[in-house]
Structures are given as structure tokens and as C-alpha cells.
Structure 1
């Protein structure tokens, strides 16, 4: 066999092997794109159990979240954020449960990573204008139409939404918008009866980069902690949202 033929003989299998490896890499990337990360799964579970008030299982979820790489401040921010959607009582009980978990871990000699604090805002604009811009970034369109019916009926609630929720809360950069939306939809699906809001925030999840496959993984994860009627409702809303994106 000539040297040229030998090179061809050896190169062809190598080329095929490289091709298989390359395609396998793409398959793995696609599979990963369909999954929530470990930290996203933990955020979902923590938010859902806190909203439900299931403190016993929340303790385990909080430990799992720390082991998944969430910092102390990130988990605290999850627990603070969700008060806007299920109230101070659930949020405060979640925070106290987290204190208990951290104290127990300290007694075992475990040093958890505190993580970054929220950046101090340096913006001379009013909180209302900042909140309005943050909301426009979330929904990816300008809010220049007539006010919603609830805003026309009770204007102060619109002020609270813009100044507090979308300025004071959403601009805190301990969590990014994608993580905050994951907290939000997890709470809304858990408390149930808020389908219009869930629909809006699932649309925001898609605009913030979650894939349909990831939302399907999300709803299956929340289903472990939520009763059947609420979960069926959440799945129906999610399917409607995904159908409109086809």
C-alpha cells in the first residue's frame, strides 16, 4: 500500500470519528438547553415551597440550593422577592427558616458563601421612571398606551407597581431578571387563581431567554409541590402561551 493510500485509509475513520464527536457535542448542547440548571431548579423549588408555606420541606430545599451553588444573598433575595407576590407572612417565615438552616450548617462547620450585595443605585431619575423602564425591558415593548383598567380604577396601585416592585425590587442586581421571573412564575403557579398574571410572566420568561422545553421542565418541577387543580391550571396557561409562539 502506498503512503498516500495509507494516509487516506487512516484519515477517513478519523474524519468520521471527529464528525460523530462534533454531532454528539451538538446533541449534548441541545439537551442542556432543554434543562434548567441546578441553581434554577433550586430557585423554583424554594420559591414554590415558601409560597405554599411548607417549611419542613423548605429546609431541605434551602440546603440543596446552597449545595447547588446559590450564595446566601441570592437565596435571601429569592425569599425577599416573593413577598411581592404572596405576601410578607410567607416571605418572613421563609427567611426565618433560612436563618435556622444557616445556623445548623455553621454548627457543623460549614461556611456558606455570602455572595454579592445589591449595587447602590446612582440614578437621578424618579423611581417611577426607573420602574417603567425596567418593566419595558422585561416585556420588550414601550408602555405608551392607555392605562390598564386597574390603574385607571385605582391609580395608586400603578404607582406602587412602578416605584416599588419594578424599581425598588427588580433593579436589585443580586438576582438578574431571568432569575426573578423564575421566582415569580413559581409563586404564581403555587398560589393559583392568578392565571392572567401567570400568563404575562410566562411570556416574559420566554422573552428573557427561557426555552419552551425549560418551561415544561419548570412546570413539572413545581407540580411536585402543588395540588392537582392548581397544577392543571398552570399547565393549561403554559400550553396556551407556548402555542401562541409557534
Structure 2
């Protein structure tokens, strides 16, 4: 679970006398629409169009989970902007093996949020120094595929 290493990291900083500011709490989600409606709106905005695919036919419940939890409950929170969320998502995916299709999708979503090619290349540079050259090279290759498909 990612929370445990994060907590350990913060405690180590506290031991060194480093005081980290606590971020503000998120505002409540809108009450004038369901979580499915809110999640669908956010997912469509990020993807650039409504999202369909084989995964939803294979496992229809995943569509409900993604829209209501990921996009409404998490992306619907206003204490972190979409670009920052995508940078974190791209970095996490780029650090894993076997997730290039998701990495490709999140590079596209990153561009939909306004991230520039230069910003994504800067992220890849950070990955190279902090995660590793193979992961950074893979991310660069995936980004190049996304950019070449975009220009076609």
C-alpha cells in the first residue's frame, strides 16, 4: 500500500526537524448531480470525448467504478489540479512494466489538460535520474508514439 511508505517518509522528515505544510481539505463534491454523472463529465473532459472500449464490454462494472470512484470521488476533488494528477499518474505508470497502453492514454490525457511536449519530456528526464534509464527510455518511446499519432 502506497500510504505506508509515504507516512514513513514524512515521519523521517519530521525526525530531521522538517515541517511540511498540510494541504487544504477538498471542497465537497457537487450535490446537484450523481457521482456517475460527475465522473462521466470529468472523464469525458480529460479524454477529449466519451470513453468506450473493449474493457467496458468485458467488465461493464469497471465503467461504473471508474466513473463514480476514480473520476468523481478522486478527480472531482479540487485540492489538486488535473495537470498535477496526470503528472503523478504518468510518473507512476512509467515506473511500472507492462502498462504501456495506460501510459499512452495518460500522455494523451496529459496533453488534453494542457501539458506541453516540453513538460512531458522534462518529466521523462526526472524519471531517468530518479527511477532509471530503462523506464525513462520506455516512456520516451511511448510519448513519441503518442506525438506521431497526434500529428497524423
In the superposition, the TM-score normalised over structure 1's length comes to 0.57
Which of these residues, 63, 67, 70, is aligned with residue 158 of structure 1? Answer: 63
Is 1:128 the counterpart of 2:36? The answer is yes
- For 2:35 and 2:128, the matched residues in 1 are separated by 36
- For 1:111 and 1:234, the matched residues in 2 are separated by 34
- The residue correspondences of 1:1-246 to structure 2 (distance < 5 A) are 89=1, 91-105=2-16, 108=17, 110-143=18-51, 147-246=52-151
Count of paired positions: 151
The answer to whether the 8 Å contact 2:104/2:146 transfers is yes
State the shift of 1:114 in Å. 2.1
Instruction: Note the residue ranges of structure 1 that are not aligned, 5 or more in a row.
Output: 1-88
The answer to whether the 8 Å contact 2:93/2:102 transfers is yes
State the shift of 1:131 in Å. 0.6
- For 2:10 and 2:146, the matched residues in 1 are separated by 37
Q: Which has the larger radius of gyration?
A: 1
- For 2:47 and 2:83, the matched residues in 1 are separated by 12
What do you get for the CA RMSD once the two structures are aligned?
Answer: 1.8
| Higher relative helix content | 1
State the shift of 1:186 in Å. 0.3
- For 1:185 and 1:101, the matched residues in 2 are separated by 26
In the superposition, the TM-score normalised over structure 2's length comes to 0.88
Instruction: Note the residue ranges of structure 2 that are not aligned, 5 or more in a row.
Output: none
The answer to whether the 8 Å contact 2:100/2:142 transfers is yes
* More RCO (CA 8 Å, sep 6+): 1
Distance 1:114 1:96, change over 3 A: closer
- For 2:71 and 2:106, the matched residues in 1 are separated by 13
- For 1:111 and 1:159, the matched residues in 2 are separated by 39
